[in-house]
Amino acid sequence: MRDSAQPATGTLYLIPVPLAEDAPDTATQPADVRDIVQGLNAFVVENAKTARAFVKRFGHPRPMAELRWFELDKHGQTDLAAPLALLKAGEHVGLMSEAGCPGVADPGAAVVAAAHALGAPVRPLVGASSLLLALMASGMSGQHFAFHGYLPTDATQRQQKLRQLEQAARRDKATQLFIETPYRNAAMLESLLATLHGQTRLAVACDLTAPSEWIRSASVEQWKRLPLPDLGKRPAVFLIG
């Protein structure tokens, strides 16, 4: 409960963005999220250009040039004084990732922490998370899991990390999730099949929520007997269990 002596502030809304440009809005965004977006006039975003396109697609009633946009860098840093001043003055602010949920595999966590420090309410909104969708579809443990972001790009270091994740999956009975830059997906899959034991379970989920969505979960031994997918430059989540 908010201290009655503390001045009221605006709310920071955490707005999930569709995972794919061709994903149906109605399938990934509840109607109340659209309503909230249409009522906001200030947004903290990763890229103002793509954020404007999303807000415009959601039918915001005001011209995009009249809205306020505050861009984060890849480390989640920006001059937070302006958006925090808006919150302090009682204006609501939206925080958006490039795709998926803000603050999850996303630099927006620093903005959320600053809002909490200010005493502003933080409201996460319902939407698609590629990590949770991939975990749901993997058939692996959803009771214990860990997300590792991007693995090393150096081949030797990547192989060492994969062995460590495989050991952790066995030891802790915890699903290990990670992502890769899309153009390196094929190299990552090759490394996984060359490094992991045959009985280790591997899942790959790409283009989640899009018409081209593709998911496979099988042992490494089974993967080697099946035609390999063309992951191309498709956003993908990899899971070891």
Average pLDDT of the residues in 1-18: 74
Average pLDDT of the residues in 122-144: 94
Instruction: Give the tens place of pLDDT for each residue, 28-70.
Output: 678 888 899 999 999 999 889 999 988 998 889 999 999 999 9
Residue 149 CA to chain centroid, in angstroms?
A: 10
**C-alpha to C-alpha distance for 223 and 154, rounded to whole angstroms:** 24
What's the pLDDT score for residue 2? 44
Mean pLDDT, the chain, as a whole number?
90
Residue that wins the pLDDT comparison between 75 and 105:
105
Length reported for the chain: 241
On the question of pLDDT at 148 being above 80, the answer is yes
Please report, for residues 3, 11, 60, 133, 216, the alpha-carbon distance to residue 127 in angstroms, rounded to integers and kept in the order given.
31, 18, 18, 11, 23
Instruction: Report which of 150, 29, 151 is spatially closest to residue 96, judged by C-alpha positions.
Output: 29
What's the pLDDT score for residue 23? 66
Position 32, amino acid: D
pTM: 0.87
Residue 37 CA to chain centroid, in angstroms?
A: 19
> Please, are residues 191 and 155 in contact by the beta-carbon 8 Å criterion?
yes
Average pLDDT of the residues in 20-25: 69
Average pLDDT of the residues in 182-188: 94
Residue that wins the pLDDT comparison between 150 and 73:
150
| Local confidence band at 107 (pLDDT 50, 70, 90 cut-offs) | confident
Judged on CB neighbours under 10 Å (0-12, 13-18, 19+), 13 is buried
What's the pLDDT score for residue 25? 62
Q: What is the largest CA-CA distance in the chain?
A: 66
Q: Domains in the chain, please, with CATH?
A: 12-124 (3.40.1010.10), 130-240 (3.30.950.10)
Region for 232 from its dihedrals, namely left if φ exceeds 0, alpha if ψ lies in -120 to 50, beta otherwise:
left
Instruction: Report which of 182, 183, 180 is spatially closest to residue 192, judged by C-alpha positions.
Output: 180
Instruction: Give the tens place of pLDDT for each residue, 31-42.
Output: 888 899 999 999
Query: pLDDT above 70 covers what percent of the chain?
Result: 92
Count CA atoms closer than 13 A to 190's CA, side-chain side: 6
On the question of pLDDT at 76 being above 90, the answer is no
Query: pLDDT above 90 covers what percent of the chain?
Result: 71
Instruction: Report which of 97, 108, 76, 109 is spatially closest to residue 19, judged by C-alpha positions.
Output: 97
What's the pLDDT score for residue 190? 95
